[in-house]
Structure 1
């Protein structure tokens, strides 16, 4: 190979290794070193490759305005370069545009779908190009473009090397982190956990900062489950590892921790974490994170009663609204500020706009947050509709396993009910403690047994049950048990048709005399049937019988 060929091969080696090196060391120093090397590049193609490496290192060093300049220079140098070099330069420019909010690639005729289409022909730097394009899509909110990019990589979920048994590849590792982030953002925590577990098992082969991201996403998931102990354990380790570390992975990890804090109602703490890691104006974060971060800072200002600061922050965020990835977040922030300032019509309009934007992006968790904002905006004028919306969010959050969101919706519903006692709700509106009591009630336990199991007094248990009856509109503890336990799936096939009929009436809260009257039986006959049902179902109480009846059979 000629000297020029050797030099070009060296440049490819540099760009192939830049992600790993930037994640493992000081990205700022690496960026400065690469810039000096670029000035001595022997050819435009070499200058283009070093320019891509400079852009990546600048991003990892959180020098976002500099990164777009580096990507610009790389594209200019790649004008007459081979196709693999041009594809890599185009991908870097698209990524930096998405992170900074510029349109340099578009002005040069570079479009994401067209560059993604070139991935069908693998070549040098293929995996790195896949990462840059996936990051561009993620940062721009173009989620539909991510699956074909990930398919083009040929990587299995959790695979962090170019080949199954090869060394850790920076692009492969970062693609897996991006995949986990995408899953987490869309509320698919089980899929995210599978990817994160694979990275964790790699141990010391993976840079410590990547492990911090893994822990941060896991902490975010723990917060979603309302697992405060698990969250604090994971988040504490992340914050110790990332303190003062200006690196793309560390900043991103802190954002996930801050979102987890917000989910647990720790807005002031979350705001402090963001400002400490990303700067007072969040300047050490990309566009998308800036939008979400400003929304959180605005919520924190309003919680402190500082409407003036919230208005100032909204004004700073307004320019982000023109970017699809940030528009919903800005609209939510504007809605809560408008509501706090007494402009309820504006608050409603903005909340609905945010919901529509997030529905279009498939961001389920953010849709629920938008509905919470909308419910707050309409609560004064239309409490019934606000209550229905909160019930919808609570049910959706329950289905996704997002206990923290369910608790927020339930808490707001209960607060609304304080001024509108005519409202009745579903089981999802109960507190976490009441759901525990309800589960034991559905098993047929007495108040005393429930109290012993949960280390409560029988009087406290009865107070909770009374509250649960009021919230759900159930007529008795038996019909309450039916509502709570109807999904347990107890098999009623052992009962006779008459006994199943009686079980349904028990679930409706009917007393023996009422059942006897409705069915034209004597009370003694009803009592005999119920005793037989206890034996056949292996239960000890009417509540347990009621809990075995499918929901469709419950009337009250």
Structure 2
């Protein structure tokens, strides 16, 4: 059975951008259930429509996307947030991860990638543009990370530590299955247990944790 279409809230202070995102997503079978022009309105609309995914511009008047994301996730922890910006500045990436965002995309993303990204984060996957991922990896692996999350890894089994390490290197579930000679269903079970034991929202936090705990280093990452 096909998964239900994600319900999306689009938030940007430019009406043309909101309209463009709505048209792109609707044309690809994704339901846009609300729009907002700033962070204050975004929180109110999220309370009303309870989206599966919120696409949030970072730079907005009244309340920026980072604060809006923090408030939306505090009230609706089941929601997934993708931050959108025209700038791939480091401080935005770490701040977005710190408030619990599952993804970070530049606004010049292709329509196909935008739609795929919305569906991806609904599965619990992380989403970061490749250029941003490389800088994120370098920042955390160099020991100058912002300390987004800290977890005790002793609760993990050796196999779960192995899976977390490979997630940190950027492997998808299908690639994990191939690497470990396991079924994809078994990999998904391991990933779910890792999330539960370490109280992680999704792969974005898992990747950060893998670098903070030195399970992986920059040379291990896939571009």
Q: The TM-score by the shorter chain falls in which range?
A: 0.3 to 0.5
> Please, what TM-score do these two structures have when normalized by structure 1?
0.17
User: Could you say which structure has the higher strand fraction?
Assistant: 2
User: Could you say which structure has the higher helix fraction?
Assistant: 1
Which one has a bigger Cα radius of gyration? 1
> Please, what TM-score do these two structures have when normalized by structure 2?
0.40
Q: RCO higher in 1 or 2 (8 Å CA, sep ≥ 6)? A: 2
